[in-house]
Copies of this chain bind each other. A is one copy, B any other.
Amino acid sequence: MTSDSDALVPETRVLAVASHVVYGYVGNTMATFVMQSLGCEVAALNTVHFSNHTGYRQFKGTRATAQEITDIYQGLCQSYLTDFDVMLSGYAPSAAAVEAVGAIGLDLQKRAEKKPGSFFWVLDPVMGDQGRLYVSDDVVPAYKKTIHHADLILPNQFEAELLSGIKITSLHTLAEAITAIHKIYSVPHVIITSVQLSKLTTSPTTPPPASLTIIGSTTRSDGTPRLFRVDVPALNCFFSGTGDMFAALTVARLREAVFAAGPDLRTTKSWVSPDSVQATDLPLAKATVKVLASMHSVLEKTLEARGAELTATAQEVSVSAASGENDEEKRKRDYLRHTKATEVRLVRNVKYLRSPVIEFKAQEWRE
């Protein structure tokens, strides 16, 4: 175990724009603590204020309007509080809000234009998952306009399909989708955060995949991708907020890897490594490996704690059944109990964020 200060990444000021929930960990509630525990100063601009994440299928709270998001940023500007090294933008509750967040990114970029590499924008284009859009239709074109300005985007498989216009059904189409994203949006870094390659390569009757694949790429100067992949064992459970955890860890670890690459890279626009750097030696690849190591440990610990909590609370359900709940009420209560038990166990597992035990490897990926 390293000491506290050894485990911190280089000083980094992050503007994090995403949702806030009171209970549990998604959006900024996840990302803020993750980045803070690695030593980043985080300014959290919250786009919604909800009681809990939407995976509970019920929540209360309010959404920020585009104007409110813009006003808050104006508040920062008028007091000269815009010295951000990185922006991490995630969920925004409307197309207008996506545009408002985009305008913030552009303004920060403009302020930094005389100092290449001094501002870096990580954009998580939160639109949907598993073939289903969970934002309104007009959010998609709003993202398509915005992504042109981002330095790194983190779509999942479904979002990568939406952005590239290419249905990912094979390794070949996956490579095509990443190439298309680099090209259409001039975005230098891409990570597709979860691809079930086994689904692509095996018949639909095979059992659920034993591993997930994360694919990333940093462009070469001619715009072609440098593709790497990391395979991780799949955990047989759906967790909310893992996309936000991935993004937050990536901000910290990419910054660390870019600093470790020497003084030239961090003063290069968008931190794009020289063409001589191989895919697996990219800071993006090195960061991804550390990110996935932290995530795998925290999620394993979450699964353990989940089991213990479900055992401990099983009695509540029989008590409530005895108190006259009908079957539907009982089912609903049980669903909520499982959802709560599956909240990522973050604060007590901070050592896995700070000092990941590296078990995974980036591989160069050629078709």
Contact = CB atoms under 8 A, between A and B. Distances in A.
B3 A351 contact: yes
A309 to B, nearest CB: 10
25 contacts: A4-B354, A5-B351, A11-B348, A22-B43, A22-B72, A22-B76, A23-B43, A23-B81, A24-B43, A24-B81, A33-B33, A36-B37, A37-B347, A39-B347, A39-B348, A40-B347, A49-B72, A50-B72, A51-B74, A52-B79, A52-B81, A62-B68, A79-B340, A80-B337, A81-B340
Interface in A25-49: 29, 32-33, 36-37, 39-46, 49
Interface string A307-344: 00000000000000000000000000100110110000
A60 interface: yes
A60 B40 contact: no
Given A22-B43, A52-B75, 9 more contacts: A4-B355, A20-B46, A22-B44, A33-B33, A50-B72, A61-B68, A62-B68, A79-B340, A80-B333
A298 to B, nearest CB: 13
Contacts of A5: 348, 351
* Shortest beta-carbon contacts, A-B, top 10: A51-B75, A60-B75, A4-B351, A23-B81, A1-B3, A60-B71, A23-B43, A36-B347, A22-B43, A51-B72
A136 interface: no
A75 to B, nearest CB: 3
For this chain, the copies found in one complex come to 2
A343 to B, nearest CB: 9
Interface of A: 1, 3-5, 8, 11, 15, 20, 22-24, 29, 32-33, 36-37, 39-46, 49-52, 56, 58-62, 64, 68, 71-76, 78-81, 333, 336-337, 339-340, 347-348, 350-351, 354-355
